[in-house]
Structure 1
Amino acid sequence: MLTRLKLSNFKAWRESGDIQLKPVTLLLGENSTGKSSLLQSLLLMKQTATSPDHTIHLNLGDEVNDYVDMGSFEDLLTRNPEKRKVGIELDAVHNKDHCFFSVEYAQDSKKSPVIDSMKLSPDSEQWFRVARTERSAFGIYLPGETRTTLKSRSFAPERGIAFSADAIAALGESGKTVQNLSLQLRRELEGISYLGPLRNKPKRTYLWNRTRPGIIGDDGSNAIPALLASAQAGKRNDDDLVASVSRWLKKMKIADRLEVKQLSAGHYSVLIHRDGIVANLRDVGIGISQVLPVLVLAYFAPSYSTVLLEEPEIHLHPQAQSLLAELFLEVSKKRHVQFIVETHSEHLFRRMQTLVAKKKAKPEECALYFVERHKSDAVLKTLEMDAFGRLSDWPKNFFGDATGEVREQAKQTMLRMKKERSAS
């Protein structure tokens, strides 16, 4: 699980400060404040760590399979930074194994991003460091060292997170520790799944080649093939994906159950059962097709992985939106899947508070953040929740003022009635 993120000079984030990541982390805020950039930083590290080019330092993205396209280093850099370096820090833990990572990127003579300094640690105290020196060479440093004689071009970091094979060999007995830290970090980044806010519209029929997809896709395009694969496997699976999705559709009161039906060789349809009526997915409300990828991904993502979601509540009615909080908490506990969610839903947010108040969740199991802008800079505000789900400092005017609207409506009604009586 990822436990901390920190950004510096990254797009709108001049200095994010330490962002503690929990089993369920909710990011709220107005549009264009910098929420998406937090998710983009993780996707940027994932596509760099999994790049086929092991010599790459930072994959800004321009290929079809990339998760994000950040443009150029200039596009990535904060406006008018004090120093022209982008910093990313990550902490992760799996079982009792900890990994602490810190990297700073600069530009080389060709204006391409290059690692200026990279550090790895098993305990946040003993740091192994590789840093750029003169003439494209890199020096490697053991914990506590400020000077080194170990310098070589072959010590250049690989895929943005790993010491090179030559650097590991030069570190001697410590090389194995550094190698294990890089592998652990890579596994965490590889385990990130992402679902964006723009999801595919449903089809009347689906062509399926009887293979299980590797990913759901950022637009949810592989959600139906994943359901088809699960239905084909039947009860041989430990987790019946179709049954799990059906259970939540029923709990959200938008369907009784979901069914996949074979029409002919390779052609299938998805049917929605509700109140004794069976309809094609194409013929029901758009909310069902938009939440399907969210539900599928929650049970499709491997255990001990991280799911990034943008606006999972799209096209859902308020009660269904609130139940997403229960989905995230239940899956995080039972399947050990971490959720980092960007949302505008007051209903999801408030249900999380209610779950804490009812002792169905602990405050330390979820983190709530509000992102706002101070001029051109993004600023993170931690929303501290006590054991009763109460917040000491609400986001000002973000959710509107329901009580104030009722008060104003009553006031205007009284004024109109008084005016109409006077006129008659």
Structure 2
Amino acid sequence: MIDQLSLTNFKAFRSADIPLAPVTLLTGLNSSGKSSVLQALVLLRQSYDSFTLFSTDGEADEQGGFLLNGELLELGTGKDVLHEDVVRSPGLPTPLIRIGYRTSDGQTYDWAALYAPEQDVLTLHSASDVPHEGSVFNRCFQYLKADRIVPATSYPRSHQQAIGRGFLGARGEHTVNYLRHHAQHTMTSKALRHPEARGKTFLDHVVAWMQELCPGVNLEATEIPGIDAVRLSYGFDGTAGLDSSSRRRPTNVGFGLTYALPIVVACLSAGPGSLILLENPEAHLHPRGQSRMAALIAAAGAAGAQLIVETHSDHVLNGLRLAVKNRVIPAADTAVHYFRRHGQQAEIVTPRIQDDGTLSDWPTGFFDEWENSLEQLLD
């Protein structure tokens, strides 16, 4: 598990060491640095998957590098990712863009690439060996962008992605096929089992958690014969079975259900060693659904996964605080970072969730809009 991420000259960060926990919330105003934290880890994974994160023969012109544009991320070119006020490296004509992390067992890993303004593969200047058991690089990795799948009549059926890699896709596009394949598998994690699930299968528990977002809903994921596609349908008969005679296409159901499904599946499929990166899990959900999504995220952390979550929702924050108070997850296994701009540099303030769910402090600008609005209404 990663307990600290270190960034130098990367996007919003001139230099920063960012503590991470089993469940970490990244909050703050737009363009304050939250996404940069997720993108740094995703950039390592993207470069690893494309076989550019290491040198093949030690020759300088054959070194690998950071792949800025690929399956997971499209960051542009070097000039798009270099911090405005760079840290210079003595003896080098160009700055280094550095991404590193420390694991909970004290191991440190670091990759530094030479800045090139017009290049989208930044050549490595130095690189750690890729750890065999690193959560960034193992099979149990999920990254779900804010731009996720929307209601559609069909979704792709890629055996290699959904079953071979166990990957839901950066937009969650392989979620339905993953659910189809694993629907009848037994749910083994006690921490992730929903107390009101109708049975022991993975689908039973997906349905139970989805009913937290929309009471009475149930799901069915089926193969479409003859083409490489699968179909998702919803029922509203209040059961978790697949025998409802009146089923609805996602295009005829609220946007939020389909948008939230990849997050529910990612959390329920998590286990020890998993790394799950989530952007805006609250999108298109009502406040109760946002709070319950936080409860699921906390449960995934309690099951041994590490989740790093970018959010703009005080309901997600409060849902995590309630999970701590209700002893779903220890306070020590959570972190909350509030990002704000200080000139050109991202500044990070870290209020702590305490054992009773209260916060150690409440920084100015940190989810205080309700109080500000209330003061104006009562004035």
Q: In 2, Cα distance between the equivalents of 1:265 and 1:85?
A: 51
Distance 1:403 1:382, change over 3 A: closer
Distance 1:403 1:374, change over 3 A: closer
1:161 matches 2:128? yes
1:76-225 mapped onto 2 (5 Å cutoff): 76-83=81-88, 84-93=95-104, 98-107=106-115, 113-116=122-125, 118=126, 160-162=127-129, 182-184=130-132, 186=134, 188-190=136-138, 191-206=140-155, 208=157, 212-213=162-163, 214=165, 215-225=167-177
Distance 1:85 1:269, change over 3 A: closer
Match of 1:258 in 2: 219
CA drift of 1:301 comes to: 4.6
2:321 aligned partner, one-letter code: Q
- Secondary structure of the residue aligned to 1:385 is coil
Q: Which has the higher helix share?
A: 1
1:370 matches 2:338? yes
Q: Is the 8 A contact 1:372 1:379 kept in 2?
A: yes
Q: In 2, Cα distance between the equivalents of 1:187 and 1:28?
A: 23
- Secondary structure of the residue aligned to 1:8 is strand
Match of 1:170 in 2: none
Match of 1:384 among 330, 352, 362: 352
TM-score in terms of structure 2 length: 0.80
Q: In 1, Cα distance between the equivalents of 2:149 and 2:252?
A: 15
Number of residue pairs aligned between Structure 1 and Structure 2: 341
1:377 aligned partner, one-letter code: Q
CA drift of 1:206 comes to: 4.7
Report Cα offsets for 1:25-51 as digits up to 9, x if no partner: 000011111111111111111122333
1:3-22 mapped onto 2 (5 Å cutoff): 3-16=3-16, 18-22=17-21
CA drift of 1:202 comes to: 1.9
Distance 1:209 1:237, change over 3 A: farther
Q: Is the 8 A contact 1:208 1:225 kept in 2?
A: yes
CA drift of 1:186 comes to: 4.9
5+ unaligned residues in a row in structure 1: which ranges? Answer: 119-159, 163-181, 412-424
Backbone CA RMSD of aligned residues: 2.9
Report Cα offsets for 1:281-308 as digits up to 9, x if no partner: 2211000000001111223356411010
TM-score in terms of structure 1 length: 0.72
Single out whichever of 213-222 and 389-398 deviates more from structure 2: 389-398
Q: In 1, Cα distance between the equivalents of 2:230 and 2:122?
A: 46
Q: In 1, Cα distance between the equivalents of 2:332 and 2:250?
A: 38
CA drift of 1:322 comes to: 0.6
CA drift of 1:373 comes to: 0.5
Distance 1:404 1:42, change over 3 A: closer
2:328 aligned partner, one-letter code: K
5+ unaligned residues in a row in structure 2: which ranges? Answer: 56-62, 89-94, 190-200, 239-245
Match of 2:197 in 1: none
Q: In 2, Cα distance between the equivalents of 1:70 and 1:407?
A: 41
